[in-house]
Amino acid sequence: LGKGCEGTFVYRGEFDNRKVAVKRLLPECFNFADREVSLLRESDAHPHVIRYFCMEQDRMFRYIALELCQATLSDYVEGKCNTSAIKPLEILKQATLGLAHLHSLDIVHRDIKPHNVLLSLPDKR
């Protein structure tokens, strides 16, 4: 799915018969991963914050399973996804509610940008 900072890669995976995004982190990022998982667990209950499922590790990597979203705000703005599925005002409202929830828990995101605003779009039926 992509590459993050510090050698982090994101792959598609499956957890409990559900499609997920799996972040693979290098050992030098383990402290960061532990902090991220702690924050994800704390904020997980809100409908506009990404869902956390589990963390596993082996000798080489740590893996974090997260909700798989269909697009980013960057994709939406660039027309790379179904822009009729959700209106811009609704995206802004939901992102603001999610961010407000994080702030209510004294969590500061510190990297809000279109690529990091994830969108779950309705399934096409």
Q: Given CA atoms 21, 63, 44, 37 in this order, what sign does their dihedral have?
A: negative
Catalytic pick among 16, 58, 106, 111: 111
- Give yes or no for a contact between 64 and 55, defined as CB atoms under 8 angstroms apart: yes
Active site residue 106: no
Q: Which helix (H) or strand (E) holds 100?
A: helix 88-104
- Give yes or no for a contact between 40 and 34, defined as CB atoms under 8 angstroms apart: no
Q: What is the DSSP letter of 40?
A: H
**φ, ψ (nearest 5 deg) of residue 46:** -90, 135
Q: What is the DSSP letter of 101?
A: H
Active site members = 111
